[in-house]
Chain A
Amino acid sequence: GQQVMQIPQYQHVQEGEDFTTYCNSSTTLSNIQWYKQRPGGHPVFLIQLVKSGEVKKQKRLTFQFGEAKKNSSLHITATQTTDVGTYFCAYSNYQLIWGAGTKLIIKP
């Protein structure tokens, strides 16, 4: 079935560095959602994008939906320890179809 590929699987950064995760599909998506899961926690909804080329910001987080609606990205500026966790993209097609997630790890 239709899938979304999410890369990278892991990203190690120094605190204060930026972080980006990408979500790609071979077909046009009606929407894209982003969730965050803290270690040991459950996924929590962050945002939904529905329009071609849409860009939304939440403080240090910037979410983009591609012009062709086949890809999306989440960029975190100047990471903090509170950003640690796994970030998932998902799109709804009767059910939510999930990417595999990108784990943000902050180097000690």
Chain B
Amino acid sequence: NAGVTQTPKFRVLKTGQSMTLLCAQDMNHEYMYWYRQDPGMGLRLIHYSVGEGTTAKGEVPDGYNVSRLKKQNFLLGLESAAPSQTSVYFCASSYSVGNQETQYFGPGTRLLVL
């Protein structure tokens, strides 16, 4: 049982390049999330999904797209990377929403955009 895994762990991009971050969970969770965390800051929600085939915008969705084609995977795409997207990206998953929603996090992807 690996929990939540993320690939890659680290990536350097040039401005304008694109990339996809992959998140996978083996806990059969319905809900998945993508956050970004900037140095010394808290977590900001980018996009989330309440089930296979569904996605929704979070607090800071601009410049990102997501897809949830399979229940266990949640992809985050950057179509044209910008230096402002330099951050650590965390994926998380949970059983459900509501009072019992505990989120389980992946190890993070550190992205540097030059």
What DSSP secondary structure best describes chain B's contact surface? loop
Q: How far is the CB of A31 from chain B (nearest CB, A)?
A: 5
Question: Which residue of A42, A95, A99 is within 8 Å of B105 (Cβ)?
Answer: A42
> Judging by beta carbons under 8 Å apart, are B99 and A92 in contact?
yes
Question: Which residue of A43, A92, A98 is within 8 Å of B98 (Cβ)?
Answer: A92
Q: How far is the CB of B104 from chain A (nearest CB, A)?
A: 7
Q: How many A residues face the partner with a CB closer than 8 A?
A: 20
Q: Which size bracket describes the interface of B in this complex?
A: 20 to 34
> Judging by beta carbons under 8 Å apart, are A33 and B108 in contact?
no
Q: How far is the CB of A60 from chain B (nearest CB, A)?
A: 22
Interface set of B (CB-CB < 8 Å, partner A): 33, 40-43, 45, 48, 58, 90, 92, 97-108
> Judging by beta carbons under 8 Å apart, are A95 and B45 in contact?
yes
CA A51 – CA B114 in complex, angstroms?
Answer: 48
In the bound complex, residues from chain B placing their C-beta under 8 Å from that of A22 are: none
Interface set of A (CB-CB < 8 Å, partner B): 30-31, 33, 41-45, 48, 50, 88, 92, 94-96, 98-101, 103
**14 A–B pairs (Cβ distance < 8 Å), ordered by A:** A30-B99, A42-B105, A43-B103, A44-B105, A45-B104, A88-B43, A92-B101, A94-B97, A95-B97, A96-B33, A96-B101, A99-B42, A100-B42, A101-B42
